Structure 1
Amino acid sequence: MSPYLAEFIGTMLLILLGDGVVAGVLLKNSKSENAGWLVIVLGWGIAVTLAIYAVGQFSNAHLNPAVTIGMALSGSFNWDLVPGYCAAQLAGAFGGAILVWIHYHAHWRKTESAAIKLAVFCTAPAESSLINALVRETIATMVLILGLLFIGANKFADGLNPLVVGMLIVSIGLSLGGTTGWAINPARDLGPRLAHAVLPIPGKGSSDWSYAWVPVIGPLIGSVIGVLVYKTLFL
């Protein structure tokens, strides 16, 4: 399998399971309706773990433009591959969101709130300041990149790394995710937001493009800072 196809499939699986757990918790008449934030966080952590197991052998399972750029900045990834990886990740995220829409097709009409429907696909801040949200996405992604570099610097038993990365995602979600929904991944937010914009979802509202730049720019800034901190303090 080519690394680009692997990134597409891995990111699609990530979004199918990640946005899928959000849909289950938020949409009406789901058996997991109102299961809460902890279920969402655990669902995303498991989604990341499974996606890495699925395609890690083919592409190292970045699944995230912020990770791809961070690894290139750290010197462990070829810059020539960055555009293709990022494009595959965005396309995979878009495809995964479409699968979530199909899977929960009967539940969209039963859910009245346009904001809840949007929340299935992409993130939104808990309070309205865009600058605060940008700072929070930057910090959370910095922790993600530092965590990945820390994990990469240690040796684990074969097959254990994806579990540790999944635990990292859960930790960030529990500790830092409540402020913005912890996108920490431009593709994870932008791809599904694009899907929300084009899909015929009953009663949907705006895709909130005024906020859409925050979960793209914040993670990219956080990625750069994370690599710089690691190189300055830990090498």
Structure 2
Amino acid sequence: MSQIQIAEIIEQISQEIEVDANGQAKASVRATARLAGVDDESIRKALKSSADLAPSKLAKELMLQGFETADLTEWKTKGIPDVAIAIILEYYAYEAGRYCTKQARLICRSFNTIGIRAWIQNKLGWTKPASNSETAMTQIQLLAAIAQQMAQQEQHLLQQQQQQTEILHRLKAVEVEQDRVNTPCGHKYSVVGFANLQGLEISVKEAGTKGKKASALCRKQGIEIERIHDPRFGQVGLYPESVLIEVFKAEQS
């Protein structure tokens, strides 16, 4: 899930999260389910099971943290408090087995840095009571700004990845061109340069083996082997294209 999609979810549930004058936050069952990446009925069933003889694993987790059965029942209509939201997200992030969701892990990771309460306060633009001269961004303005910022960050990342890909292609082309030498008897290449030109992957060991065979053919045909410095391998030989074609064909046959 991308940051853009997460921003869209946050904007969609903005009407279902709230923070009171004391800064205590809560969200509806539906909003909590959207954050966790599960359907709200799953959470409703878990909350309802707290009154059963065998409550669900999630209900047990909540009650172990000090919440009562009456609390869990009340949340279905009055909203889930911030502390409980954090427990629910952590459950679906790491403890729900095959029901764990990647979205819950991403959201939970964000909450771990600032806390669910601080996060909701921030998303809703809540601050301590301010003087009349102070102004604050409205909830919708803040959410829109955050969503736009996250989308811009993701777009910037995509552009960087595209630029890196283009740079790698250019470097490969430069490497091939650097390995090529114009001589009276035609183009000469190193083994690696020729392999790159052909779009072939070649290991250091394979390059060494092919280099020995190319050297043997050159000596047999009375062709002088030129050598150039290579930062990766030290001195490497340059062989006529015709010799390298013969070596590579022999390896493939």
For normalisation by structure 2, the TM-score amounts to: 0.22
Relative contact order: is structure 1 or structure 2 higher (C-alpha 8 Å, sep ≥ 6)? 1
Larger strand fraction of residues: 2
